[in-house]
Amino acid sequence: MTSGWPRAAATALQFLTRLPIPGGASAEPAHFEADLARALALFPLTGALIGALTALAFWLAAQLWPLPLAILLALAMEARLTGALHEDAVADLCDGFGGGRRPEDVLRIMKDSRIGAFGLLGLAFALALRAGGLIVLPNAATAAVALIVSGWLGRLLMLAAMLAIPPMPGRVGLGGSVASQATPRSLALALLLSLPVPLLGLWWDARAMLLALLAAVLFLAWFRRLVLRHLGGSTGDCFGFAGYAGLVLTGLAFAAGR
């Protein structure tokens, strides 16, 4: 039986990946809220781990294929690793915000398992921007660093969105139950625990790292207004979308000026 932080680490991996991780919050329902609160502080570090595994897949693929193809293969592996959690949120949110006028219409469209034109285009452009930002990088080492840093920033942005955007009124779901455990302390702890990752980014390319952080702050301010205007509050898809935005913005930041 796991306890405390080991169980929280298992919970974070269970939420963000499809790895067969035993234990976690589900193993001890009585400690669910405490485990979830600790797990949120581990989201950015878990994201960096996902980025590192993606970078490893990229490096292995690059031994056989050119960099652009290796990037695409690595991103496909990442989508399998995460169960396309963020990609699904991008498609749902684009469909809902593109086709709905009232909050109830937006929510109904987002819950529909079918993908529409807005969702297809939104996901296609998001994937193209992410892959394109990585493909234009000067070498495989920089692409690997960008993958690790983007995994970190994407999940940090998820946590920040949970704090910045209040939940949708009258709606309770998994996303809301997770977000309710987010606190400024968990964000501060998340930054402290994962500090080596942004320091790696600053050491490798300070300009790109600072640009990525600035872009994340600007995105969060814009995204908060967008979500409140369309839904009146956040849902789980909003956090997943924010996570993918962090992945895309990091790649674009590292690609800027190349």
**Which positions ≥6 away from 110 have C-beta within 8 Å?**
92, 93, 95, 96, 100, 235, 237
**pLDDT 10s digits, 155-191:** 999 999 999 998 887 665 656 667 777 889 999 999 9
Q: In the prediction, which pLDDT does 26 show? A: 54
- Given this model, what pLDDT does residue 106 score? 86
Determine the pLDDT at residue 172: 56
Confidence at residue 247, expressed as pLDDT on a 0 to 100 scale = 98
Say if CB 152 and CB 47 are below 8 A apart.
yes
CA–CA dist 6, 12 (Å, integer): 10
Report the pLDDT value the prediction gives residue 3, as an integer from 0 to 100.
Answer: 59
Taking 70 as the pLDDT cut, the residues of the chain under it are 1-3, 23-34, 170-177, 257-258
Q: Give me the helix-helix angle, 32-41 and 184-193, nearest 10°.
A: 50
Whether pTM > 0.85 for this model: the answer is yes
Distance CA 65, CA 57 (A): 12
Q: Which residue ranges make up each domain of the chain?
A: 1-41, 42-255
Q: How far apart are CA 26 and CA 13, in angstroms?
A: 12
Integer CA distances (angstroms), 32 to 1, 8, 26, 29, in order: 14, 9, 7, 5
The whole-number pLDDT of residue 177 equals: 66
